Chains A and B, each alone.
Chain A
Amino acid sequence: MESSSALETTIDKILDQTQKNILSSINLALTDAQKTLDNAIPRLEQEYDKIISDGKKEADKIQKQIVGSSDLEARNKHLLALEKAVENVFTKALEQIANAQRNGDYANLIKSLLEKSTNILGTTQVIVYTNSKDKDLVKSTLSQFSGAELSAETIDCLGGVIVKSKDGAMTFDNTIDARIERLKPLIRKEIASKFGVGN
């Protein structure tokens, strides 16, 4: 009986001790877990902030991409539409020039074109080319330029003259087409300004 009671006491002691150990381990684990959780919260918050900030950056980037490309697309369509309008105005203007009356003003223009061309080339010993419409007018004006000859060959242009030195070394293109080509960027700007662009 006695030995059995001693055994029970011992067992109780061991159980007690084990219970204490287990409880202590549980408490320790609980504290550790709590600590880990406490430590994790700021890290989690940091991670959360980073994810939010990265997301914001990505959203900004995508917004910029979408807005940027749409703006450009719209601008490019506007540019093409403007160019088409400018070209239309140009074509109409050229048609008007081509059909212009060969009157006194035009004769003065031809004279001044010939004067300018011979001045630039530094000689009146030149061969002059013009279109079939202006041939007679140019021929009569050339009498004022000694040594200048009209070529039998005609050229395809709106008006004006091409002047070539007799040795063939120098040529000056003073046709209306060439003058328009030289001034085209300025004329385009002028036409565009009528559409309210570049003011």
Chain B
Amino acid sequence: MTEGGVQYSKIAEIKGPLVIVDDVENAAFDELVEIETREGERRLGKVLEVGNGKAIVQVFEGTTGLSISGTNAKFVGKVMEMPVSKEVLGRVFDGLGRPKDGLPDPIADKFIDINGEPMNPEQREYPKDFIQTGVSVIDGMITLVRGQKLPIFSGSGMSHNLLAAQIARQASVVGTQDDFAVVFAAIGVQYSEAEYFRRSLEESGALKRSVLFLNLADDPAIERIITPRVALTVAEYLAFDLGMHVLVILTDMTNYAEALREISAAREEVPGRKGYPGYLYTDLSTIYERAGKLNGKKGSVTQVPILSMPSDDITHPIPDLTGYITEGQIVLGRDLFRQGVYPPVNILMSLSRLMKDGIGEGSTRADHGEISNQNYDAYSRAQEVRALAGIVGKAGLTEIDLKYMDVGDVFEKEFLSQATDENRTIDETLSILWKVVSKLPKNELTKVKDKFVEQYYQEK
């Protein structure tokens, strides 16, 4: 990085969120820039491109009100850094990492580049430890493990924010005394939602072990580029410097991608699918790949990014590219949501690729994998039977078909449905899974070992 602090006053052009500064001699890619308006207001930005005496600066707080004359750009000589210390726990910051709770800046233990350091692939440790979210459908059938990145694919208006707040409040690591923390980054959310997240964590006592980054819908869109990065910087510090297990919840990543598209359009880059830049995949991976565990380090960073799929379209570039990078997905279903089921998780479209390594004897319970598979199988069959009943009517169904229909209903009413403040232990979750399949005769339970059937099958 070059020696910083020089202020340039030749602004060549202001285009969307970009400011083009002329006659710049010593600027570096990603360098932090302070833009000073004619009125003395200061805004932050970063260098996107340098060359031919020009620097293209992306202004995080937007360029509204800036004019070519009277605007100065000060190149700070360093990249954007986040001050970190244990004191960030229990604090609320804005999307750029500035305190939003009326308290002073945290006394920093370190200043860390918000772009993070790439994890050495050879140093990565395979994630295999269970995280209990207290949400039955996740713990029982789409289990989250420490160091995993498991996105929630939702749609507009669905209850993903309720679910995110519930996970943030309830998540814990079981069977260890290690510290656990939640880093919550709200990207482009409404004020009421941000307030809900804050109040929800405060009232449940979970704020003490949480860090909140709130970028509101009326904050400049460009700020959203930074929010997940400052959140992950704090998470990495808590995990790898302080040895904590950190769950990072990023909601809503669609807003992040929209901001990326806005910058790309302003830079006149060749658009890719639906106008998103061609490097959307690479860019998303610089965020998602910051999850994991490292050999020889105690802590872990687990990510639950939440994205609302435009028009509930799972083939949309954002969920599509996210799915390539992450290790499974939790899909919320519009039909279940309309029926009033909470959380409306469409179990048949959801999957946790690392689940098998985080469950079973020594982690959760020996029968976990098998009872989960049995329920998946039974619910899938129940859906087929429901479709059949729609054509031939209930009268045309066999006795066993009717039992599967019953299983489907019980699955949705008792297993899937859960109050927003209901924190179920893994034993309670597994017990409900057994209750659901106990609606079937024993000989239908082909995915579970007999010894488990004998032990857990619930006779009428």
Contacts and interface: CB of A to CB of B under 8 A. Distances in A.
A121 interface: yes
Given A65-B203, A79-B103, A185-B83, A72 B9 contact: no
B96 to A, nearest CB: 15
A122 interface: yes
A37 B22 CA distance: 90
A79 B108 contact: no
Given A169-B8, A172-B5, A198-B109, A80 B205 contact: no
Interface string A122-134: 1000000000000
Interface in A35-68: 57, 61, 64-68
B88 to A, nearest CB: 11
B208 interface: yes
A30 interface: no
Nearest to B72: A171
Given A67-B205, A197-B107, A120 B5 contact: yes
Nearest to B206: A68
Looking at chain A, what size class is its interface with the partner chain? 35 or more
Given A80-B103, A189-B108, A72 B6 contact: no
Interface string B22-46: 1101100000000000000000000
SS class, residues of chain B in contact with chain A = loop
A80 B111 CA distance: 21
B169 to A, nearest CB: 10
Contact of B3 (A65, A80, A120, A169): A120
Given A69-B202, A169-B23, A57 B9 contact: no
Contacts of A169: 8-10, 22-23
Contacts of B63: none
A66 B203 CA distance: 9
B205 A173 contact: no
Contacts of B190: none
B354 interface: no
Contact of A189 (B25, B103, B107, B205): B107
B296 interface: no
Contact of B204 (A65, A83, A173): A65
A75 interface: yes
Looking at chain B, what size class is its interface with the partner chain? 20 to 34
A182 B207 contact: no
SS class, residues of chain A in contact with chain B = helix
Interface string A119-155: 0111000000000000000000000000000000000
A72 B204 CA distance: 12
Interface in A165-199: 168-174, 178, 182, 185, 188-189, 192, 197-198
A173 to B, nearest CB: 7
A185 B108 contact: yes
B7 A64 contact: no
A71 interface: yes
Contact of B208 (A68, A83, A174): A68
25 contacts: A61-B423, A64-B205, A64-B206, A69-B202, A71-B90, A72-B90, A75-B87, A76-B90, A80-B104, A120-B3, A120-B5, A120-B6, A120-B26, A168-B9, A169-B9, A170-B7, A170-B8, A170-B23, A185-B111, A188-B105, A188-B108, A189-B108, A189-B109, A198-B85, A198-B107
Interface of B: 3, 5-10, 22-23, 25-26, 72, 83, 85, 87, 90, 103-105, 107-109, 111, 202-208, 421, 423
